[in-house]
Amino acid sequence: MERTKLADSSPPIARPYETIQLVPVEAEGAMIDAPFRPELAQPRGWSMRARLFVGLVLLPSFVVAVYLFLIAAHRYVSEANFIVRSAAYQGAMAAGSSQAAVLASSHGAGDLADAVNSYIKSRDMVEQLETTNDLRKILSREESDFLYRFPNLYRRDNREELYNHFGTMVSVEYDKTSGITAIAAVTFRPDDSQALVNALLGHAEELVNRLNERMVRDAEAYAQSVVNRAQEHLVDIGLRLVKFRNAAGSVDPSRESATALEQIAQMTTELAEMQASLQQQISLSPSSPAIAPLRERIRTYQEQIDREKMKIVGADRSLSGGLAEFEKLTLERQLAAREMDSALGNLTAARQDAQRQHLYLQRITQPNLADEAKYPRRFLMLAAAFGVFLAIFVVVNSILKGFREHSL
C-alpha cells in the first residue's frame, strides 16, 4: 500500500537566497519534498541575449542596409565661395594702406556678409526660390527617395516644413578671419544643385544691390534735407530784406549812408575854403561887392550840409534809423549763404562717400557641376547605424540582466 511521509521528522530549514520548491520524489513509494537546486536548472540566458541581439542589432541593421543599397537615392553637391567687399577696402588694398585702415574699411562689409548669410537661410529666400526657381520641383524629383524628398513621411506640404527641409539641403559656412562664405546645395540631380547655388548667389547679389541703393538713398536724403533747410532759411532772409527795403525806401542804406557822408565831407571842405576866402576878402576889401554873394553861397552850402546830415541821423526815416536792421539782415544773409554752400558741399561729399562705401558680392569660385554623387555614404552610414544599434543592445541587455538578478 502506497503512503506519503516526510523524509525527515524535523521541518525543513530555508537557506538564505534559496528557494524552497516541492519536488515529487519517489522514495519507498512516497512523495518527498526536497529543496530546489539551481545548478540543475536549464540555462536560458544565452537564448534571451540572442533574441535581443537579433531584434536590436541584426534586424535594424538589415533594414538600414536594404534602404542604403536598394532604396536611397543619389544626392549631388554643388559648392561655391564668395566674399563681400567694399570699394573703400579695394582702394585701401590697392594704395597699400595700413592694416588698421584696411580693417576699418572692411568692418561694414563684414556686417553685411553676416546679413547676406542670414538672408540665404531665411524664409524670404525660400519664398523667392519657390516663386522664381521651382524649389518644390527640385526637392521632389522622381529620382528622390521617401526620406529626402519633399513632402515625405515626416514633413507635411506647407511653407514651414518646406523651410525646415530647405535648411537640411543647403548649408552656409562663414569664415570671419578671411571673410569668405562657402555655400553648398544637395539635390537629386547635379544640374539642380548647380542651378540652386546660382540662384542663391543671384538673390544674394540682389540683396547687396538693394542695400547699397538704400544706403545711398538715405545718405543723399539726409544731406538733401540739410540743403533744403538752408535754402529755405536763405529765401526767408531775402524776403525779410525786400520788405525792409520797401519800408525804408532804400535799396542799400549802408551804401547810401557812405555816399552821403562822402558828399558831406566834400561840401564841408568846400565850405571851409569859402569861409577862408570870405575872411580874406573882408580883411583886404571890406566894401567889396563880392562879399555878399560869397556869404550867400556859404549859407547855401551850410543848409545843404545840414539837410544831408538830417537824412542820415536826424529823422525817423533817416538812413541811420534802419541801418542797424539792414546790417543785421545783411549779416544773416551772408551766414545763410555760407550755410547753403556748406550744405551743398556736404551733399556732394555724401554722394562720394556712399560711392566709396558701395558694397558688392564677389564670387571666388563658381558653382560646380558634380560628376558623381557624394551621398549617401553607404558603408559609413551602415557602420554608424550598426554601432548605434549595438550600443542600444548593450544598454538594454544590462538593464534586463540587473532586473533578473534583483528578482531572484
Is the model's pLDDT at 406 over the cut of 50? Answer: yes
pLDDT class for 249, splitting at 50, 70, 90? low
- Distance, CA of 26 to CA of 39 (rounded, Å): 21
Q: Which residue has the higher pLDDT, 113 or 257?
A: 113
Which of 43-52, 192-201, 338-347 comes out lowest in average pLDDT? 43-52
Q: Kindly indicate the confidence band of residue 323, based on its pLDDT and cuts at 50, 70 and 90.
A: low
Cell of 14: 530555508
The greatest distance separating any two alpha carbons of the chain, rounded to the nearest whole angstrom, comes to 206
Q: Tell me phi and psi for residue 366, to 5 degrees.
A: -80, 155
51-73 average pLDDT score: 90
Which of 225-239, 344-358, 362-376 is least confident? 344-358
Mean pLDDT, to the nearest integer, of 106-131? 82
**Residue 386's pLDDT is what?**
94
In this predicted structure, the answer to whether residue 19 has a pLDDT above a threshold of 50 is no
Cell of 23: 519536488
The pTM (predicted TM-score) of the whole model is 0.60
Angstrom distance (rounded) from CA 200 to CA 86: 20
Band of residue 2 on the pLDDT scale cut at 50, 70, 90: very low
Please tell me which residue, 194 or 264, carries the higher pLDDT value: 194
Residue 61 confidence (pLDDT) above 60: yes
The model's confidence at residue 123, banded by pLDDT at 50, 70 and 90, is: very high
pLDDT tens figures, 226-235: 888 888 888 8
Q: How far apart are CA 152 and CA 162, in angstroms?
A: 11
The grid coordinates listed for 355 are 560711392
| Distances, alpha carbon 126 to alpha carbons 46, 355, 366, in Å | 55, 31, 21
Per the prediction, the chain carries an average pLDDT of: 77
pLDDT category of residue 250 using cuts at 50, 70 and 90: low
What sign does the dihedral 367-369-371-376 (CA atoms) show? Answer: positive
pLDDT on residue 14: 46
Of the pLDDT bands very low, low, confident and very high (cuts 50, 70, 90), residue 78 is very high
Mean pLDDT along residues 48-58: 87
pLDDT in tens, 357-367: 678 888 999 99
pLDDT per residue over 148-175, tens digit each?
A: 888 887 888 888 999 999 999 999 999 8
Cβ–Cβ under 8 Å, residues 318 and 311: yes
For residue 320, is pLDDT > 90? Answer: no
Query: Given 3.30.750.24, 3.30.1890.10, 3.40.190.10, 3.30.2350.10, which CATH number is that of 74-222+358-376?
Result: 3.30.1890.10
pLDDT digits (tens, 9 = 90+) for 79-101: 999 998 876 654 444 445 445 34
User: What was the pLDDT predicted at 102?
Assistant: 42
pLDDT at 189: 92
> Hey, how many other C-beta atoms are within 10 angstroms of the C-beta on 154?
8
